Structures are given as C-alpha cells and as structure tokens.
Amino acid sequence: MSVSRALSKLWTIIIIVVVVVAVAAGGGLYYYYTTTSKPQKLTFVLIGKGVHPYWSVVEAGMKKAADEIRSKYGADIEATFFTPTREEAYLQLSQVDTYIAQKVTGLAIAPVDAEAAIPYINKALQQNILTITFDTDSPNSNRLAYLGTNNYKAGYLGGLAAYMLAKEKGYIKPGATLKVGIITATLSAQNARERVQGFQDAIKKCIETDPDIRGNINLVIIGPYEDKGDVSTAVNYALSILQANPDLQIAFGSNAYEGPAWSQAMQQLNYPPGKIVLVEFDVTSDNVPPLQQGYALATVGQREYFMGYYAVWLLYNMTKYGVDKALKSFIPGYPNNKIYDTGVDLVGTQHMEFTAPTGEKVVILGLSEYKQLMSKLGVDPSLLGLQNVS
Ligand code: BGC
C-alpha cells in the first residue's frame, strides 16, 4: 500500500470515528433533554363569586381534574381557587389584575358583573392568558368560551315547576291573583339576570297556555330585589315581602343562599311549611335542609362540580393542543357556538312528573334519586349536603 493510500484510509477512519462520536453525543444530549428537562409549569386560577358551599363543590371538581392531569400526563399543574368574601365586582376584579400581573397560564372567571369584567378579561387575553368564563358569562367580552348552566333555561324550568306546584295547591284559578316574590343577588350578573327572566317568562307562558286559565290571572311580580350578595339583606327582603304580602303564593331565590333566606324568613314568621311554593337554586348543604323541612318545594340543581372539573381540563387541553382544537373537540357547534352547557336537574323531596301547559315535560327528582345520580356521575354526595339522605 502506498503511503498516500494509507493516509487517506487513516483519514477515512478518523472521519468515521468523529461522525460516530458526534452522533452518539448528540443523541445523548437529545436523550438528556427529553428525559430530564422539567415540563413547563402550568398555573390555572379559577375565580368564583363568593363564599358559599356551592363554590366548595366547584373547587373540589377543579382539584379532581388537576390530579387526573398530573397522574395521566405527569404535567406540572398548579390549580388555585380564589373567591372574594362577598359577591362584589371590585373585590373580584382587583384580584384578576393580580393574576394577570403574575402571568398565570389560564383563568376561568365567574364575573359578578358581566360588563365590568370585560376590560379585565380582554386584558388577560391580550397578555396571552387563556381566559374563559364559567358559572356565569360575560358574553360581550372576548372570552374564549363559557362553561356552565344555561341560566335562562334553568330559570325557566324553575318557573314551570313553580307554576305546576302552585296549581296543585289550588292557587291557579281563573280570575285569581298570583303573587310571585323574587330575590336575586345582583342583576349585573348574567346568570342572575337570565334566571330571573326565565322564571318569570315560564310563569307568564303557563298562564297564557293553560286551557283552565286562558290568560285570566292577575299576575303580580314582587321584585326582583337585589341583596348584593348579602345573606342578611336577603332575609330582610324576604321578611318584608312576606309581611307586606301575606297572600304570596310563589317565592324564588335566584342564587344559592336565597332559597335558605326565604325559608328562614318563613320560619321566623311562623309560616307552615309548604304554604308558599318556594323554588330554590342549587343542591348544597345550605339548600337541602329547606327541602327536608318542607319549606322549599323544589330546587334547580346545577352541576357545578363539572364546571370546576371541565374548566381545568379545557384550559389544559388548550395548552396541549391549541385553543381551537381544544374547543372544537369539547363544544358542540364550535366556533359558532362558544358555550358548553353543564346541565341542571330539578330536585324535590320526592319524584314528580308533569306536563306543563306549555307542552314541556317537567321531572322533579327525589332527593335520594338525585343522590344516586350524583354518585353515578362520580360526585361525592356529601359534598352536596346529601350525606343524610337515604
Ligand atoms: C350561582 C353562583 C353564586 C352562588 C351563590 C349560585 O346559584 O350560580 O353564581 O355565586 O349561587 O350566590
């Protein structure tokens, strides 16, 4: 072999060795980074409206989703729940600003004031914070989606139940006066606004379509009075409505604590249970006793556990697959529709079914039936105040 051929062979060997070492080193580095680099920390914050057992249920759903995502994907997730001490917009929105400044990954907000929240929601989005509304919407903001009860429909369902229960009591007769008292937290909240509207519309529609009545009822709506999220104000409104209208037949509280406030006022004034058709909102440890004592005849049970649960899953999927893909696979009809309805159940002490004059079928689940349903859906019944229901 000539010297030059031997040299070129040596060079070839050197080049091969260098390439092999480089590839191996590169592969090692790649392996190092893909296996040892930490996943990006994701911080999600869910912002409720006020302090009530209702919100503890939302928080439990949030924790469940975060645990599932951690164990399924090994994701580094921090899910925080914040709620102001009272349903006051300024208390809530100042905190939103703090989370924007912290540059959290995602926010789910239940705006106390649908309009006041708009600049905050839009600002969060401008700063690339994934922002949705839940429990109650801010439809004129740029929120990516709303996740929660269809509140008009839920209020309407409550109104149908109220009408049918009042009819059963003999309060619905041609020429009669039907008095309905309504207490709400604040009409600045989209959910309260829609529930109050739905409730009244249902009663009006029943009066018009009921063949026994044919519109011949003098409907008197008392309120809606806004207690601004304060329980004792709600009780005081209930007391004064009852004192001024001893012939009140239907009472409605659009927020979780208002059914119990009505019930407290009725007890204080020594009303016999069931004299007034009281329809509450929600099934929580606060709402079950008025039902069991016979003061509330029905309640519109929201599925708030799933509002917390899906909010975290949805925000997480947005980080993983992108906003559009995540929303498309979650919300039927997206992008035209940006609302995911978590659904409601009408609940009373026993199972009842009727067809309203409007043609709609109304089913009221008994408490024990509802307890079973919630267990089946994976919601711990004691979270909902149902532990003593057999
Ligand atoms: C509503 C919440 C509200 C809670 C307590 C629930 O019915 O969905 O928005 O914060 O009641 O008032």
Q: pLDDT of 11-20, one tens digit each?
A: 566 555 555 5
Q: What is the pLDDT at residue 13?
A: 61
- Does residue 191 line the site of ligand 1, with CB under 6 A? yes
Ligand 1 and 326: CB distance under 6 A:
no
Out of 6-20, 21-35, 249-263, which region has the weakest mean confidence (pLDDT)? 21-35
Q: Establish whether the linkage from the previous residue to 224 is cis, with ω within 30° of 0.
A: yes
Q: Give the number of the atom of ligand 1 that is nearest the alpha carbon of residue 185.
A: 12
The per-residue pLDDT for 6 is 59
Largest pairwise CA distance in the chain: 122
| Ligand 1 proximity of 136 Cβ (cutoff 6 Å) | yes
Helix (H) or strand (E) holding 147: strand 146-148
Is the confidence at residue 7, as pLDDT, over 70? no
Please state the rounded mean pLDDT for residues 221-231.
97
| Structure confidence at residue 175 (pLDDT) | 98
pLDDT, position 4: 57
For residue 54, the CA-to-ligand 1 centroid distance in Å is 7
Give pLDDT tens digits for 62-86. Answer: 999 999 999 999 999 999 999 999 8
151-188: pLDDT as tens digits = 999 999 999 999 999 999 999 999 999 999 999 999 99
| Ligand 1 mutation target, pool 47, 52, 254, most atoms within 8 A of CB | 52
Please give the distance, rounded to the nearest whole angstrom, from the Cα atom of residue 55 to the centre of ligand 1: 8
- Give this prediction's pTM: 0.90
Query: Hey, whose CA ends up nearest to atom 8 of ligand 1?
Result: 135
Q: Where are the alpha helices (DSSP H) in 110-189?
A: 118-126, 151-168
Question: Which whole-number Å values give the CA distances from 213 to 171, 180, 204, in the listed order?
Answer: 12, 17, 11
Tell me: the pLDDT tens digits for 308-350? 999 999 999 999 999 999 999 999 999 999 999 999 999 999 9
Q: Tell me, what's the pLDDT at 24?
A: 52
What residues contact residue 44 under an 8 Å CB cut-off, 6+ apart? Answer: 66, 77, 78, 79, 80, 104, 105, 106, 107, 108, 311, 312, 315, 316
What is the pLDDT, as a whole number, of residue 278?
98
50 lines ligand 1 (CB under 6 A): yes
- 345-356 pLDDT per residue, tens: 999 999 999 999
Q: Is 214 exposed, middle or buried (0-12, 13-18, 19+ CB in 10 A)?
A: exposed
pLDDT tier at 35, thresholds 50, 70, 90: very low
Q: Is the pLDDT of residue 223 over 60?
A: yes
- Write b or e for each residue in 5-40: b if 16 or more Cβ atoms lie within 10 A of its Cβ, otherwise e: eeeeeeeeeeeeeeeeeeeeeeeeeeeeeeeeeeee
Question: How many angstroms separate the CA atoms of 187 and 243, rounded?
Answer: 24
pLDDT at residue 22 greater than cutoff 70: no
Would the CB of 92 count as within 6 Å of ligand 1? no
Work out the pLDDT band at 10, boundaries 50, 70, 90. low
- Whether 226 shows a pLDDT value over 50: the answer reads yes
Residue 164 C-alpha to ligand 1 middle, in angstroms?
Answer: 25
